[in-house]
């Protein structure tokens, strides 16, 4: 899978691919020209703040993560996030 590198921040690389925006651990990213290449299993679907608030109720924030309640099925979990640009990714059930 390939994509255009948008930014590197907080140990992650933000990539724009044809099917969406992804965040991958920076250690796993390989730059080839202006493109970022990664193994597909490393990619996380990224949510903007607006997308997050449509599907989740935010319960609280910590350093680099937030606790959430998924609205459709009341599952508790957490997201990692990066601050600027703000993206939420890697939802984990509790």
For 60-90, write each residue's pLDDT tens digit: 999 889 999 999 999 999 998 877 677 888 8
Query: What 3-state class would DSSP assign to 48?
Result: coil
Q: Contact 1/41 with Cβ under 8 angstroms?
A: no
Q: Same domain for 59 and 32?
A: no
The residue segments making up the domain with residue 80 are: 49-93
Tally of domains within the chain: 2
The string of pLDDT tens digits covering residues 43-58 is 566 788 888 999 999 9
Q: Same domain for 33 and 60?
A: no
**CA-based max dimension of the chain:** 43
Element (H, E) at 54: helix 49-55
Q: Same domain for 53 and 86?
A: yes
Q: Same domain for 36 and 61?
A: no
Token reading at 52: 């997050």
Token reading at 54: 């449509």
Q: Same domain for 80 and 64?
A: yes
């Amino acid at each position: 899978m390939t994509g255009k590198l948008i930014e590197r921040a907080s140990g992650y690389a933000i990539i724009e691919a044809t099917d969406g925006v992804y965040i991958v651990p920076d250690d796993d990213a390989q730059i080839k020209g202006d493109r970022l290449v990664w193994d597909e299993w490393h990619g996380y679907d990224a949510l903007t703040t607006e997308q997050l608030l449509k599907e989740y109720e935010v319960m609280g924030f910590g350093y680099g993560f937030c606790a959430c309640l998924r609205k459709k099925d009341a599952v508790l979990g957490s997201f990692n996030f990066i601050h600027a640009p703000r993206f939420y990714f890697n939802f984990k059930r509790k």
